[in-house]
Chain A
Amino acid sequence: MGKRIGIEVSLAVSEAVKLCNTDVVAAYPITPQTHIVEHLSEIIADGELDAEFICVESEHSAMSACLGSAAAGARTFTATAGQGLELMHEAVYLASSMRLPMVMAVANRALSAPLSVWGDHSDVMAVRDTGWIQVFCEDGQEAFDHIIWAFRVAEDNRVLFPVMVHLDGFHLTHVVEPIYIEDREKVDSFLPPNRFPLPLDPKKPVSMGTFAPPVIYTEIKKAQEDAFQSIMPHIVECWEKFGKHFGRSYKPVETYRAEDAETLIMTMGSYGETASVAIDTLRAKGLKVGQVKLRLWRPFPFKELRDAVKGAKNLIVLDRCISSGGPGGPVASEVRSALYDEPVRPVVVGYISGLGGRDILPEQFEAMIERGIKDAAKGRTERMVILGARE
């Protein structure tokens, strides 16, 4: 039997990596991700997990080592945050293009300058288009669960794409929560051994990540994109199987008190819970408000999003990242784009807040929703609305 214990979320993530019988961890410590790999190095040094811990000199090397490890068919994990994710950026594309399954925990952090170690989604959005499956976690239990889930999805031979598990820096990584830690047998019976179908083998040599001139590059990228868009059923299936096995169910788009809501607020990650508190308060005041939580960020759940917001008049989207010089926040613009072809759609209002670790309190969510309703009534809103800045 597993057991519920009070544990820091970062350490719970490490415990999940241990329970998954991971073969290789290559990582560099960077705030706010440090505790994850620090604890993993202890677990491996203590012999609790029979794995190679590769101490690399930078995140670029971490990802490069992971590429080799995954290509050899080893179960591979890394973790990073903010500047570290940027430093590994170009190698991040290789994992998805070469169809190498691996799991990366990203402790979401703002990007310099000015230097900030605190959380927002700027680092996530910079790797938005790298072709990785990306999910957001709202609390520590979800982070623990999604490491196990991610290995199964990534290594599913019908999928073969790497997975990023996003957990908000500090707001999740550094808090102690009661988390149900599953036991090894139960994880083993959910997660089959890695059967990577194309492992490097000296008896059957292959070349990976080769060169492509203009006559073939387009075909390769289209094949990759077709494959990426076709994996949605397997992602959903894995969540369903996870739910049956462990009793905790997840979906690409989740809702809270949204059934009859006129106004919805959309969040990703840890602020979902704070927004839920605001929803409860506003519901008690008689306002028909609800919440949409975007769990799956890539591949983008178009159908699920359209179904979730059907019938709502207003949709307020919280972004924790600025698309500089662009259409506001990246999530809001994607949501607008996803709904544009719908004959009936809610008015989408995008707000940017919670940058660089700035707290958003439940009262501020209430104010955000009330302002959103007013702004939506005007029909159109300003492009770039950054809330909470002293002016």
Chain B
Amino acid sequence: MAEITVKDVKTGFIVDTPGGAKAYRTGDWRSQRPVYDQDRCVKCGVCYLFCPDSAIKIKEDGYVEVDEFYCKGCGICAKECWTGAFEMKPLGEEKK
């Protein structure tokens, strides 16, 4: 997106190709990320339902994964997960 110049701007800044927002990396806004503990997950899908950014996907085996490209680190998944499978950790401290 950064390479677009004044000349490239379409009249009225109309977006005529769908999926433009898909390419916009909203995941780099966050200050914390959810760390997922599969051992505590019971595949209930509550995190998937509550994620406001559809950043949680259900895998074929029923467990979930977080799409880091879109996760804004809001912490709703950690708040709603009743088995405590998610823990929010500040960026840089995830691995501890």
Q: Residues of A at under 8 Å CB distance from B?
A: 97-100, 160, 197-198, 204-213, 215-216, 219-220, 222-223, 226-227
Chain B contacts for A100, CB-based, 8 A: 12
Considering the complex, give the chain A residue whose CB is closest to the CB of B15: A207
Considering the complex, give the chain A residue whose CB is closest to the CB of B9: A223
How far is it, in angstroms, between the C-alpha of A206 and the C-alpha of B7 when the chains are bound? 20
With A99-B11, A219-B8 already in contact, 19 other A-B pairs whose C-beta atoms are closer than 8 Å: A98-B13, A98-B14, A99-B12, A197-B11, A198-B11, A206-B14, A206-B15, A206-B16, A207-B14, A207-B15, A207-B20, A208-B12, A209-B13, A210-B13, A211-B21, A213-B24, A216-B2, A219-B5, A223-B9
Main secondary structure of the interface of A (DSSP, over half): loop
- B13 contacts A212, C-beta separation under 8 Å: yes
Chain A contacts for B7, CB-based, 8 A: 223
- B13 contacts A220, C-beta separation under 8 Å: yes
Q: Residues of B at under 8 Å CB distance from A?
A: 1-2, 4-9, 11-16, 18, 20-21, 24
Closest CB of chain A to B21's CB: distance in Å?
A: 8
A-B contact pairs, 24 of them (CB 8 A): A97-B12, A98-B13, A99-B11, A100-B12, A160-B11, A198-B12, A204-B16, A206-B16, A207-B15, A208-B12, A208-B15, A209-B13, A210-B20, A213-B24, A215-B2, A216-B2, A216-B4, A219-B4, A219-B9, A220-B9, A220-B13, A223-B6, A223-B9, A227-B11
- B12 contacts A160, C-beta separation under 8 Å: yes
Q: Taking A205-B18, A226-B6 as contacts, is the C-beta distance between A213 and B11 under 8 angstroms?
A: no
Considering the complex, give the chain A residue whose CB is closest to the CB of B24: A213
- A216 contacts B1, C-beta separation under 8 Å: yes
Contact with A213, one of B1, B8, B9, B18 (Cβ below 8 angstroms): B1
Chain B contacts for A211, CB-based, 8 A: 21
Chain A contacts for B24, CB-based, 8 A: 213
Considering the complex, give the chain B residue whose CB is closest to the CB of A157: B11
Considering the complex, give the chain B residue whose CB is closest to the CB of A215: B2
How far is it, in angstroms, between the C-alpha of A210 and the C-alpha of B19 when the chains are bound? 12
- A97 contacts B1, C-beta separation under 8 Å: no
Chain B contacts for A98, CB-based, 8 A: 12-14
Closest CB of chain A to B16's CB: distance in Å?
A: 5
Among A206, A209, A226, max chain B CB count under 10 A is at: A206
Chain B contacts for A213, CB-based, 8 A: 1, 24
Contact with A97, one of B4, B13, B21 (Cβ below 8 angstroms): B13
- A210 contacts B15, C-beta separation under 8 Å: yes
Considering the complex, give the chain B residue whose CB is closest to the CB of A219: B6
8 pairs of A and B residues whose beta carbons are closest in the complex: A99-B12, A223-B9, A207-B15, A206-B16, A98-B12, A215-B2, A222-B6, A223-B6
Chain A contacts for B11, CB-based, 8 A: 99, 160, 197-198, 227
How far is it, in angstroms, between the C-alpha of A71 and the C-alpha of B20 when the chains are bound? 20
Chain A contacts for B2, CB-based, 8 A: 215-216
Chain A contacts for B13, CB-based, 8 A: 97-98, 209-210, 212, 220, 223
Closest CB of chain A to B29's CB: distance in Å?
A: 10
Among A97, A210, A212, A219, max chain B CB count under 10 A is at: A219
